[in-house]
Amino acid sequence: MGGNQEGLTTWISEIAWRDFYINILYHYPRVSMHRAFKTDTEALTWNEPGEKFEAWKEGRTGIPIVDAAMRQLNETGWMHNRLRMVTAMFLTKNLFIDWRLGEAYFMSKLVDGFLASNNGGWQWSASTGTDSAPYFRVFNPVTQSERFDPKAISFASGCRSWPNSTTNAFTIPAAKAALFRRGIRDLLWT
């Protein structure tokens, strides 16, 4: 058990998350019936999905980290955990589209689709779940790109429809990046 202790600890904690969400499903079966764990959040009003939902699904939002992740999901059936959080938060907290739609879309595509973990992950991201991220916590796609994959090497790997050259693939146009940094949302297609 020597060596990479940090990696081991992370791995054990991820396995614990899986067990945790299985227990939530067992003790609170409403979460498997399109209900939020935090029932008061069911009063939230979501935007009509429409074209923005289609753009999210097809990986053409204009936000490279989101688009590469969604194309990878569509083409391979898999997406890294961090990107699942980024794309789920983007759908629910930037586009204000109901987490249930994203949850169902992920289930229709993921090769490791698993009700308990998928529901737990979506409700965590949307702040409707057990241990949820607080509602004001929104992953910023710009800083997430910069922190975890600035050269877009790993996030876009295995994605046929992503440009071959990764140079600047994750550079978000400066104006949009500035808007995100200032916390202004909803201007993605301007």
Ligand X SMILES: Cc1cc2nc3c(=O)[nH]c(=O)nc-3n(C[C@H](O)[C@H](O)[C@H](O)COP(=O)(O)OP(=O)(O)OC[C@H]3O[C@@H](n4cnc5c(N)ncnc54)[C@H](O)[C@@H]3O)c2cc1C
Interface residue with ligand X among 96, 114, 135, 148 (CB under 6 A) is 114
Collect all residues with Cβ–Cβ distance below 8 Å to 31 and sequence separation of at least 6: 24, 25, 37, 119, 123, 129
| Separation of CA 160 from chain center | 20
Binding mask 10-49 for ligand X (x = CB under 6 A): -x--xx-xx--x----------------------------
Q: Is position 137 an interface residue for ligand X (rule: CB under 6 A)?
A: no
Residues 61 and 189: their CA atoms lie apart, in Å, by 8
Residues 141 and 89: their CA atoms lie apart, in Å, by 9
Q: Is position 118 an interface residue for ligand X (rule: CB under 6 A)?
A: yes
Residues 93 and 70: their CA atoms lie apart, in Å, by 17
Residues 81 and 58: their CA atoms lie apart, in Å, by 19
Question: Which position has the token pair 């995100």?
Answer: 180
Interface residue with ligand X among 37, 56, 90, 122 (CB under 6 A) is 122
Residue 83 Cβ vs ligand X, minimum distance, rounded to whole Å = 9
Q: 156 vs 179, which CB is nearer to ligand X?
A: 156
Q: Is position 106 an interface residue for ligand X (rule: CB under 6 A)?
A: yes
Interface residue with ligand X among 117, 128, 132, 144 (CB under 6 A) is 117
Active site residues: 14, 17, 46, 81, 99, 122
